[in-house]
Every structure is written in structure tokens, then in C-alpha cells.
A = this chain, B = another copy of it.
Amino acid sequence: MNVMNESPRRKELIRLAAQLFVQEGFDRTTVRMLAQEMGIKSGSLFHHFKDKQEILAAVIEEGTQNALIIAHQSIEQYPAEPEARLRAMARAHLETLFADRNAHVVALFEWRRLDPAASAHLSHLRDAYEALWVEVIDDALQAGLIHGDRFLVSRFILGALNWTVRWYDPNGPRTPDDLADELVGMIMAR
């Protein structure tokens, strides 16, 4: 087994697993299906991962790491412009959501399948990401751009954004940036 390995091979396997988890759901995806998709036999799978759980954790970790990095990069461009920060954060959210769609769908809808240990570890990553949001929203509230309870507002915005994976068609006429701008426009006081 290959515990802490960041090889390209492992990354590719994780990508394939994410795709299958989205298609079938974690529980219905068997190790034999995973192996076939990866072009190996089911036994060989356990050379790369300790067990099926570890594959799930790896998928979710990758997605969340990427989201954090991109969000950071996006808002640090505008240290003192609340509206630009809000817009950049929403854009970054949708950008990662659809660039890395499979991993994020797994993170959003299969989180509960994580065992407690993995869940605890990954919760920190997610909390760090949500803290970024709360920060940006606090700025926007203080600047009078939006109004309402900071807790509820951030939950509503994240809900609206996350739910897009259920209906948004990347091949349609609208870009993720269009969506982000529309949402920001919808909630901003004029």
C-alpha cells in the first residue's frame, strides 16, 4: 500500500473514482467497477488505497483543497473593495464547482459516507473555506451592500450556489460567471 503518495498515477485514479462516485453514488460503486475503470483488477486496487473509504476521503480532500486555493487567490486581488470581493468569491465558488465538478458533487452529497476519522480531518478544510465566506459577507454587510443576518445570508448564498450542480448545464448559453453575477445582483441593495 501506498499511504501518502501524491504521484500522478494516484491523482488519475482519484479522478476516475470521483467520476464513478458521481455516476453511481458511493455505495453503489463497487471496488470491481472502480478497478475496471482504472484498467486493473480489483485486488490491485488495494495496493493504492487502504480501503474503499480512503478513496472517498481522497476524492473529497482534493476537491476541497482546490476550492480553498482558488478562493484565496480570487479575493486577495481586492483587499479593500467589498463588492468586488463578494463577486470574486461567488465566481470562484462556481468556477471550482464546475471545473472540478465530480469531486465537489461527491463532497456535497457523499460527505456522510465518510467514517468519523476522515470526516473530522476534512471538516477543518471545509470550515476554513466557509470562514472565507463569512469574512467576505461581513465586509459586504458593513459596506451596506447587502442586508440581513450574517449567518443566514451566508447560508442562503452558499445554498443557492451549491444547488446549481443540480440544474446548471455547462453547455448552455450561460457561463458560471453569469450565474455568479446574477446572484450577486439579485441580493444587492440598490
Contact = CB atoms under 8 A, between A and B. Distances in A.
A160 B164 contact: no
Interface in A159-181: 159-164, 166-167, 179
A39 interface: no
A146 B186 CA distance: 8
A112 interface: yes
A175 to B, nearest CB: 13
A25 to B, nearest CB: 6
Contacts of A161: 159
A78 interface: no
A109 B108 CA distance: 11
Contacts of A155: 160, 163-164, 167
A162 B161 CA distance: 12
B186 A147 contact: yes
Contacts of A189: 190
A113 interface: yes
A149 interface: yes
A189 B163 CA distance: 23
A27 interface: yes
Given A159-B159, A159-B164, 10 more contacts: A109-B109, A148-B185, A152-B182, A153-B186, A156-B160, A156-B182, A159-B160, A159-B161, A159-B162, A159-B166
Interface of A: 25, 27-28, 109, 112-113, 146-149, 152-153, 155-164, 166-167, 179, 182-183, 185-187, 189-190
